Structure 1
Amino acid sequence: MIDTGSIREHMEVTGSDGGHVGTVDHVEGQRIKLTKTDPEAQGQHHYIHLDSVAGVEDGAVRLNRTAAQAKDEWATDH
């Protein structure tokens, strides 16, 4: 399991393919809440489960799925 303390506000979230997914707002339980002001967010907060995180490196959260897969799976509810 990823150390959630290493995930910081305003970090970029990228897919395994290097594609931009979003920007971290904060960690909320077992999910990362993404900012709604990110261009990819379409004005909504999105959530990515921590199981999707492969690691934190070079100041970014890297996922274990492509950006497109992550966007297909992200949740918009609380």
Structure 2
Amino acid sequence: MSDVASQIGEHMEVVGDDGEHVGTVDKVEGNRIKLTKKDDPTGSGEHHYLPLGAVATVQDGKVKLMMPASAARGDANARDPGA
């Protein structure tokens, strides 16, 4: 597990570089962050995933991304990376 992945815990808030809410961590799976279903940007009730490479920092109980929240929500992948 990468250093960044080891710093990310369940139920941490994920925010864009603009400080806006993107989602809540369900868990880290491989090289992706799995967001909780309640944060599904499409409203379909599915888990969405963000790449660990999009993480800028992990501090103060938050995962901050290297992109604005609107871009992160647009990039969130609904497919299970293991499927």
Same fold (TM over 0.5): yes
TM-score (norm 1): 0.91
Q: Structure 1 residues 29-38 or 40-49, which shifts more?
A: 40-49
Higher-Rg structure is 2
Q: Do residues 34 (structure 1) and 35 (structure 2) align? A: yes
Q: Do residues 45 (structure 1) and 11 (structure 2) align? A: no
Counterpart of 1:58 in structure 2 is 60
CA RMSD, 1 decimal: 1.6
Counterpart of 2:17 in structure 1 is 16
1:3-50 alpha-carbon deviations (Å, 9 max, x no partner): 211100000000000010000000000000000023756222110001
CA distance in 2 between counterparts of 1:75 and 1:35 reads 13
Structure 1 SS opposite 2:14: strand
Runs of 4+ in 1 over 2 A off after TM superposition: 37-42
**Where do 5+ consecutive residues of structure 1 fail to align?**
none
Q: Which amino acid aligns with 1:71?
A: R
CA distance in 1 between counterparts of 2:18 and 2:79 reads 26
CA distance in 2 between counterparts of 1:5 and 1:41 reads 28
**Where do 5+ consecutive residues of structure 2 fail to align?**
none
CA distance in 2 between counterparts of 1:40 and 1:20 reads 11
Identity %: 50
CA distance in 2 between counterparts of 1:39 and 1:52 reads 18
Closer, same or farther: CA 76–13 of 1 in aligned 2, 3 Å: same
